Amino acid sequence: DLPLRVLGARSDLLVGTAVDMSAYNQDTPYRERVRTDFSAVTAENVMKWSELEPTRGQFNWGPADQLVAEARRNGQQVHGHTLLWHNQLPEWLTSGVASGEIDSAELRDIVRDHIRTVVGHFKGKVRAWDVVNEAFTDGANPVLRDTIFRQHLGENYIADALRWANQADPRAKLFLNDYAIDNVNAKSTAYFEYAKTLRAQRVPLHGMGFQGHLDLQYPIPIDANENLARFDRLGMETAFTEVDVRYFLPGDTYKTAGQVGSFNVLLQACLLTPKCVMFTVWGFTDKYSWVPGFFDGQGEATPLDANLQPKPAYRGLQQTLALG
Ligand code: G3I
């Protein structure tokens, strides 16, 4: 019964979790589990722009600094999440842009300064950054999402963001990250083409993050391995960054089996991909998972139950890691 991080280390794979910092600070068994089972951590919320700079010019580094310091103590890597995302932006920013008080030129300066400040603050302490999160739309013809960044900085905003981040910490691996790209589909292919173009232009894009928020209503992404392989052949790192597997409650033996299989398909895809560096779950216990709050009637999406006891999904991850 070896911890996930120990089993992952045998394959040189970081096994990570999103960390909820309020749970971390009030729940000792939760905190212990973060330390013992994981070799990488991602802030579930505290590195997002709204959390870091709730008031313009006033930074709230406390919770993120704590996570980074404890990760260092625990021998864990930090995956930085996220520099630019159209959600969880500070109110001062969105309302300033909406009212026209912040014009396009000023927004460009603000975004550049944000990236420089945050990446600079954590320089040398964050292994990799999700530089832009969820930049593409869903559906049959994915295009760059119509965010305030795209609207005001132009369609090269992603290349600009990657360059600014690279200048602030040249050793950090720079990722794009998105959901619904775990298998070969229109959206993952859009990313593949986009990554090829950016890298041909020598834009510092080093990795692709596949969130892996699965839902048992939809087919298991059995071709995840093929999907990761094409990014690997571009010379990029790959990672599963936010894995969970939700279903409609109550569970039953079929759903349990489906969940075990779903976690394993993604983990195996990563193990089969030479430069797949990390397999991260978006919360490890049903006690604090984001899923029930966002999807009515769904839940039980993580490897440990609400009492922090291992479920079959956790045993499956152990077994798959043990096989390497
Ligand atoms: O911090 C405030 C708190 O001050 C307030 O009192 C409370 C009342 O609603 O809300 C708190 O903020 C919540 C925050 O989580 C911290 O708990 C937000 O309402 C809530 O919307 C937010 O949800 C997060 C969500 O991103 C926001 O879009 C989830 O915890 C987080 O798991 C989720 O993570 C995202 C990834 O970043 C990107 N990929 C998808 C993934 C799941 O949605």
All structural domains of the chain, each given as residue ranges with its CATH number in brackets, are: 4-323 (3.20.20.80)
- Reported as a single tens digit per residue, the pLDDT across 21-49 is 999 999 999 999 999 999 999 999 999 99
The mean pLDDT value for 131-156 works out to 98
Residue 72 CB coordination number (10 Å): 12
Q: Which residues pair with 244 in a beta bridge?
A: 213
Q: What is the pLDDT of residues 85-130, one digit of tens each?
A: 999 999 999 999 999 999 999 999 999 999 999 999 999 999 999 9
- How far is residue 192's CA from residue 197's CA, in Å, rounded to a whole number? 9
DSSP 12: T
Task: Concatenate the DSSP letters of all residues of 170-203 into one string.
Answer: TTSEEEEEESS-SSSSHHHHHHHHHHHHHHHTT-
Whole-number pLDDT of residue 165:
99
Give the pTM.
0.98
pLDDT at residue 315, as a whole number: 98
Question: Which amino acid residue places its CA nearest to atom 30 of ligand 1?
Answer: 290
Residues tagged active-site: 134, 242
DSSP β-bridge partners for residue 187: none
Mean pLDDT of the 226-232 span:
98
Residue nearest to atom 13 of ligand 1 (CA): 45
Give the pLDDT confidence score for residue 28 in this predicted structure.
Answer: 98
Q: In the prediction, which pLDDT does 114 show?
A: 98
Tokens at 161, concatenated: 């963001």
Confidence label for 304 from pLDDT (cuts 50, 70 and 90): very high
CB atoms under 10 Å from CB of 46, counted, come to: 21
The average pLDDT across 263-270 equals: 98
How far CA 195 is from CA of 10, 158, 208, 271, in Å, comes to 30, 11, 9, 22
Q: In one letter, which amino acid is 68?
A: V
At 196 the pLDDT is: 98
Tokens of 44: 């579930």
Q: What is the DSSP letter of 85?
A: -
The predicted structure's pLDDT at residue 20: 99
Instruction: Dump pLDDT digits (tens) for 174-190.
Output: 999 999 999 999 999 99
Phi and psi for 203 in degrees, rounded to 5? -75, 135
Spatial distance between the Cα atoms of 118 and 230, rounded to a whole number of angstroms: 31
Q: 45 alpha carbon to ligand 1 midpoint, in Å? A: 6
pLDDT at 209 (0 to 100): 99
**Ligand 1 site: residues with CB under 6 angstroms?**
44-45, 87-88, 133, 211, 242, 290
Across 149-162, average pLDDT: 98
- State how far the Cα of 8 lies from the Cα of 4, in Å rounded to an integer: 6
Residue 200's CB is within 10 A of a number of other CB atoms, namely 9
| Over residues 265-292, mean pLDDT | 98
Report the percent of the chain where pLDDT is more than 90: 100
Task: Give residue 68's pLDDT.
Answer: 99
Confidence of residue 10 (pLDDT cuts 50, 70, 90): very high
Name which residue sits closest to atom 42 of ligand 1, judged by CA. Answer: 290
Mean pLDDT of the chain: 98
Pocket probe mutation, ligand 1, options 290, 295, 298, max atoms within 8 Å of Cβ: 290
- Closest Cα to atom 4, ligand 1: which residue? 51
Mean pLDDT of 305-324: 97
Amino acid at 177: N
Helix segments in the chain, DSSP class H: 4-9, 21-26, 28-37, 49-52, 62-73, 91-99, 104-121, 148-153, 157-168, 186-200, 224-233, 253-271, 291-294, 312-323
Indicate the top mutation candidate among 45, 285, 289 to test ligand 1's pocket, ranked by most ligand atoms within 8 A of CB: 45
Ligand 1 test: best mutation among 46, 49, 85, 88, most atoms within 8 Å of CB? Answer: 88
Q: Could you count the other beta carbons within 10 Å of the beta carbon of residue 28?
A: 9
